[in-house]
Each structure stands twice: as C-alpha cells, then as structure tokens.
Amino acid sequence: TLDGFVGEAEIGDLEAEVAIGVVEGRVTLGAVRSAGLATVGAATIEAASVDGDLEVSVTGDGAVEVAAGEVGAARLTLTGAGSITVDAPIETAEVSMVGAGTVRLAKVAAEPSVQRVGAGELHVGPP
C-alpha cells in the first residue's frame, strides 16, 4: 500500500495485490494482481499488467494506464478531465464519469454499466 505519494517511483513485478494513491508525480508498476489505483491532480500511474480485479479513481487531470493482463471486475471512476486506459481484456466493467475526461477500454466481455455526467467520452474497442 502506497497512499498520498508525491514524486516519482518505479516498482517492478510484485505478483501481489496493490493499493496505490498518487497525489503528485508518476508511479510505474510492473505486473500486479488485483489493484486499487488512485490519482489526484495531474498524477499518473502506469501498470504493465493487472491480473485480477481493478479499481481505479482519477480526480482531476491525471491518468491511469494498464497495458496488459486479464481483468475480472473493473470499477472505474473518473472525475474531471483525466483519463483511464485499460488495454487488458475485462470481464465486467462499471464506469462512472463526471466532467470531460476519457475512458478507453480495449475489450469488455459484458456490456459495461455506465453513469456519465458531462462531456466525458467512453471508448470500447481498439484505439
């Protein structure tokens, strides 16, 4: 668990569950299991792979990116002008968006549950 982090960090493959909250800066992760990832402001979290459930919260103009893996249940919350990108296939997704941000999901097996207020955009499929 890493909460309220400020700065830059590179964390290798953990093959464990993680919970990371970044207030300012960038965190780069290797392969992890279930993950709770949160940013505030212009912070960024990049995960190489998530194999398990995924919970993401982006508040402000930050970004969370997941490059690979196999996600079971994804709960994604975006408030502001930030972005969430998940290039791993997802079984089920709950998406909540407020503002002008963007959520991009490469593949979702079941129809995503979406709540949206504002000009935010949800894209499902290849870029």
- Taken as a whole, the chain contains a residue count of 127
Yes or no: say if 32 and 14 are a contact pair by the CB < 8 Å rule.
yes
pLDDT at 1: 80
pLDDT digits (tens, 9 = 90+) for 73-105: 999 999 999 999 999 999 999 999 999 999 999
pLDDT digits (tens, 9 = 90+) for 11-54: 999 989 999 999 999 999 999 999 999 999 999 999 999 999 99
Interatomic CA distance for residues 97 and 76, integer angstroms: 8
Interatomic CA distance for residues 112 and 91, integer angstroms: 9
